[in-house]
C-alpha cells in the first residue's frame, strides 16, 4: 500500500507510557505511539534500542493495520499463555495469578546476571503451579552459546518442556542444538532468527527449528507474517512485543487468520501492566482473548501520556521512519 502522508498519522498520534507490575526485558515502563487511521487505531512501538531501519518495518505494520482491513479470521478467540519474567521462584504464583485461566506459561531464562540454578528454580515453580497438565515453554532470547544451551535443556527437561524458544542466536547453532537434543523430544522454536533476520525463512530452510514464533509489528504486518509462515511450512506461535492492548489486537488478528494454530499464543502480556490504554484491557479471560479491534479510552490516553521529552523523542523517531518508508517506495 502507499504510505499515507506524515501529517495524517501525526494528526491523531499519542505517545503513552505504561507501567509494568514486574521489570521485564530490562524496563519498568513500556512506551508506544498510538494513532488512528481509516480502519481504526494502531500501534508503533519498536524497542528503544532498535535503529531506524529496523523500526521502519514496525511502522509499516502499524500503518497497514490502521489503513487496511485485517485479513478474514478463521477463529473468533485465541488461547494465550502466561508470561513469566525472570523473577525469583517465590514470585511465580503472584505473576501467574495475573493470567486468568491460562494453561500454558512461557518462562524467561538466561537473564543477564542470573544463573542456570535461578532458571531451574523458576521453571520448577511454574511447573508446580500449573500441575502436570500445564504446558511450560522457556525463552532464552538467544543468550546461550551452543554448549550452554545443550546443558540447560538437559537440566530443564525434567519439567516436560513444550519447547525451547531461541536458545542460541545463530541459525547454525540452532540447527546443531536441534540435532543434539532431538532424542529428548524437546522442540526448538525460532523467534529472533525470524523477526530480526534479513531472510526470515532461512531458519526453516536450514532445518534449525521445529516451529516459528511470529510477531506482527516486527515482521511488517499481519499479511507479511502470514506469508512467512506459509513459506516456512512450519507450525507457528503468535507472540507480542510487550504491546499495549491496541497492538495486541493486531497480533490477535494474525493468530485468528492463520490456517492452523496448534499452540497457545504469547498475546496475554497486557496482564504485565498495571495500567493500559483500553478499558477493559485486552487481558485473558479463562485463558482466551477475543478477536477484534481495540480503541483506546480517551481518559487513559491522557492519564498515561508520556513526558514531553519522551513525546518529542518518539514523534521524531516516527517521522524518521516514515521518511525511510517513503524512500523505500
* Gap between the Cα atoms of 217 and 62, Å rounded: 7
| Residue 51 burial by Cβ neighbours in a 10 Å radius (0-12, 13-18, 19+) | exposed
Closest to 163 (Cα-Cα) out of 116, 209, 132, 129: 209
Which of 106, 108, 182, 196 is catalytic? The answer is: 108
The percent of the chain in helix, strand and coil, each rounded to the nearest 5, is: 40, 20, 40
- Cite the annotated binding site by residue number: 139, 165, 191
Cα separation, 265 vs 216, whole angstroms: 13
C-alpha to C-alpha distance for 294 and 41, rounded to whole angstroms: 7
Q: Dig out the grid coordinates for 115 from the structure.
A: 544463573
Cβ-proximal residues to 302 (8 Å cutoff; 6+ apart), any chain: none
108 catalytic? Reply is yes
Q: Which residues are annotated as a binding site for Mg(2+)?
A: 139, 165, 191
Cβ 110 vs Cβ 140: under 8 Å = yes
Alpha helices in the chain (DSSP H): 6-10, 52-67, 92-96, 116-130, 146-156, 171-181, 192-195, 202-205, 222-232, 245-257, 298-303, 308-328
Any catalytic annotation for residue 196?
no
- The dihedral over CA atoms of 294, 300, 301, 305, expressed in degrees to the nearest 10, equals -140
Q: Are 105 and 81 in contact (CB under 8 A)?
A: yes
| Residues annotated as part of the active site | 108, 215
Amino acid at each position: 500500500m502507499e504510505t499515507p502522508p506524515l501529517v495524517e498519522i501525526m494528526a491523531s498520534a499519542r505517545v503513552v507510557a505504561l507501567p509494568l507490575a514486574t521489570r521485564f526485558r530490562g524496563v519498568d515502563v513500556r512506551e508506544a505511539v498510538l494513532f488512528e487511521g481509516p480502519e481504526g487505531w494502531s500501534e508503533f512501538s519498536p524497542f528503544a534500542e532498535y535503529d531506524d531501519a529496523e523500526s521502519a518495518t514496525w511502522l509499516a505494520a502499524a500503518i497497514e493495520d490502521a489503513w487496511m482491513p485485517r485479513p478474514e479470521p478463521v477463529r473468533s478467540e485465541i488461547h494465550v499463555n502466561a508470561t513469566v519474567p525472570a523473577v525469583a521462584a517465590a514470585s511465580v504464583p503472584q505473576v501467574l495469578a495475573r493470567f486468568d485461566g491460562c494453561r500454558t506459561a512461557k518462562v524467561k531464562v538466561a537473564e543477564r546476571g542470573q544463573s542456570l540454578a535461578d532458571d531451574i528454580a523458576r521453571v520448577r515453580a511454574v511447573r508446580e503451579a500449573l500441575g502436570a497438565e500445564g504446558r511450560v515453554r522457556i525463552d532464552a532470547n538467544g543468550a546461550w552459546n551452543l554448549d550452554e544451551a545443550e546443558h540447560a535443556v538437559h537440566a530443564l527437561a525434567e519439567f516436560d518442556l513444550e519447547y525451547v524458544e531461541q536458545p542460541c542466536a545463530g541459525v547454525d547453532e540452532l540447527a546443531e542444538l536441534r540435532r543434539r537434543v532431538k532424542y529428548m523430544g524437546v522442540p526448538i522454536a525460532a523467534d529472533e532468527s525470524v523477526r530480526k533476520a534479513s531472510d526470515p525463512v532461512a531458519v526453516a530452510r536450514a532445518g534449525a527449528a521445529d516451529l516459528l514464533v511470529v510477531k506482527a509489528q516486527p515482521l511488517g504486518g499481519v499479511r507479511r507474517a502470514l506469508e512467512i509462515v506459509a513459506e516456512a511450512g512450519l507450525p507457528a506461535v503468535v507472540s507480542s512485543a510487550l504491546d499495549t492492548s491496541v497492538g495486541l489486537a493486531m497480533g490477535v488478528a494474525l493468530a485468528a487468520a492463520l490456517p492452523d494454530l496448534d499452540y497457545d499464543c504469547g498475546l496475554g502480556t497486557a496482564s504485565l501492566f498495571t495500567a493500559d490504554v483500553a478499558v477493559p484491557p485486552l487481558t485473558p479471560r479463562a485463558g482466551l482473548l477475543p478477536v477484534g479491534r481495540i480503541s483506546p479510552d480517551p481518559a487513559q490516553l491522557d492519564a498515561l501520556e508520556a513526558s514531553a521529552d519522551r513525546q518529542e523523542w518518539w514523534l521524531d523517531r516516527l517521522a524518521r521512519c516514515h521518511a525511510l518508508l517513503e524512500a523505500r517506495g
